[in-house]
Structure 1
């Protein structure tokens, strides 16, 4: 639970013990087995910098979780004790037990951490690419942080749609993951200059940039947009947990105007109407074996490990979705 606003997640949160809650008529009591880590959102929330929520400490943390139903409210008909569900309620993830409205739980075959990559992380990839990025087929698409939780799903969705996909990453382990996922051109930015690669190999520009990183990657992506190219801002993890870098340079409209290009911000809660259908599609693709889900192999156990997991993700070491196990 966030007990105070702070620039640093670890100094903001504390473990708090409360009595076991009992579900109201429309609620489920779920024992969380796995929770997904969203370090950027966690950090901004603890800093009080998420504009669409107005929270005063103390408040609960965490979002997506999978677990088992241990109690059911009297008015809930479609769930039973012992069934497994996925939840994406803000404040429900970083808990051992959570109460959730039965309308906001999704029944799943078993409580496995791979589901956390699909909901809501994979949902963000699908909605961001299709509805915000207007992804077509036979396009050239650049995905930054391509081996991360959202990135590696975006790579696969872009490939399934019939596109040429460029992915950036920073380690050989991540290169191998992207190779396995069929990424067409992998740029290890520790060994190659992203700007030089794009200038040399993609002189016609990039049709769609899907960026989670910000700073230098934002600048490079904007510079290399094609005519009518679209740049989707999914996040800016390079600046989470620190003051934003002051930028003194010409405004970017001159770069966009002559190409009829655009920069578009994307935040999943602003597309709530698209979430149910996107979740259904992703679960179907996963069940059919058309999506490979990467869960970072680093072990984080229990509530006390959450600050370490957040810092690990912010450091960029992860390969796939970072998960805490209970």
Structure 2
């Protein structure tokens, strides 16, 4: 074991899911536990992350409380297993994807970690949010240069990546957000047309400024926003649903969608496709 003089306490605090609930504060509690010891090929890191759906029991109903909370983290390496010493050194900063991220210290397999420049919030979402946007747009969106892409909740974790990936693909990018401050941020990362939906009517703006329609919609809000995205699709447009955050605090986790019964008809009329991409990596396609 290599700690290189790191001062590691014998106990730490972590969040434990003790009750399934869509209200994360209600689902978790703080517990003081012993600091885990890394074995061969593992890393010791401090982290940040959260996932309301997991604590509500939606991702894997077979998992019963109590269980650790959090999926992705970024932090400093303070201890190494033997084989991990060839890849990392104490003091390195890494991002990782593993369960139990809401703890002051955690043990992570080296193969599930990647180097990052610093322990900053902008690197925290690299593995989950970044990978979601990349896989969804590349494999399902099939972006082509010159296409128009709509990203909802564009200032959020995965939305930021989607904006930048679409822009690098040579597309015209529209991003929805809830404030002028966020609109300014979206412009700074390449968004061509930020739409602050608290100041502008999203549906009317899209109809007026993009009468030909949207080639690809990267949608994570659900409900009425999903309906606007469907109605705004161009002929042969692609709708990628990667979440529905507007419903996560509800009992079912799914927001109401008025156009559910007519969705197949709307897609058929436009020869469009809808892909549902989530934690399982599965996609359902409607033509």
State the Cα distance separating 1:269 from its structure 2 match.
5.1
The reply on whether 1:196 has 2:180 as its aligned counterpart is: no
- If the length of structure 2 is used for normalisation, what is the TM-score? 0.85
Residue of structure 2 aligned with 1:90, choices 75, 96, 99: 99
Q: Is the 8 A contact 1:143 1:210 kept in 2?
A: yes
Q: Which range moved further: 138-147 or 70-79?
A: 70-79
The reply on whether 1:7 has 2:22 as its aligned counterpart is: yes
State the Cα distance separating 1:122 from its structure 2 match.
1.8
Q: Is the 8 A contact 2:148 2:214 kept in 1?
A: yes
Of Structure 1 and Structure 2, the greater helix share is in 1
Matches within 5 A, 1:201-280: 201-243=209-251, 244-247=254-257, 250-267=261-278, 270=281
Match of 2:176 in 1: 168
Residue of structure 2 aligned with 1:23, choices 38, 46, 60: 38
State the Cα distance separating 1:109 from its structure 2 match.
3.5
**RMSD (CA atoms):** 1.9
**DSSP 3-state at the match of 1:200:** helix
- How many pairs are equivalent? 263
The reply on whether 1:45 has 2:60 as its aligned counterpart is: no
State the Cα distance separating 1:108 from its structure 2 match.
2.8
Match of 1:275 in 2: none
Q: Which range moved further: 126-135 or 247-256?
A: 247-256
Q: Which range moved further: 163-172 or 115-124?
A: 115-124
Unaligned runs of 5+ in 1: 272-326
Match of 2:90 in 1: 81
Task: For 2:121 and 2:258, locate their aligned partners in 1 and report how far apart those are by CA, in whole Å.
Answer: 43
Unaligned runs of 5+ in 2: 1-15, 283-287
The structure with more radius of gyration: 2
Higher relative contact order (CA 8 A, sep 6+): 1
Q: Deviations over 1:275-313 (max 9, x none)?
A: xxxxxxxxxxxxxxxxxxxxxxxxxxxxxxxxxxxxxxx
Match of 1:299 in 2: none
Residue of structure 2 aligned with 1:186, choices 178, 183, 194: 194
Q: Is the 8 A contact 1:44 1:241 kept in 2?
A: no
Q: Is the 8 A contact 1:28 1:73 kept in 2?
A: yes
Residue of structure 2 aligned with 1:137, choices 124, 145, 167: 145
State the Cα distance separating 1:219 from its structure 2 match.
0.2
Cα separation, partners in 2 of 1:62 and 1:214, compared to 1, 3 Å = same
State the Cα distance separating 1:193 from its structure 2 match.
1.2
State the Cα distance separating 1:245 from its structure 2 match.
4.5
Task: For 2:187 and 2:88, locate their aligned partners in 1 and report how far apart those are by CA, in whole Å.
Answer: 40
Of Structure 1 and Structure 2, the greater strand share is in 2
**DSSP 3-state at the match of 2:68:** coil
Task: For 2:170 and 2:162, locate their aligned partners in 1 and report how far apart those are by CA, in whole Å.
Answer: 13
Task: For 1:222 and 1:257, locate their aligned partners in 2 and report how far apart those are by CA, in whole Å.
Answer: 11
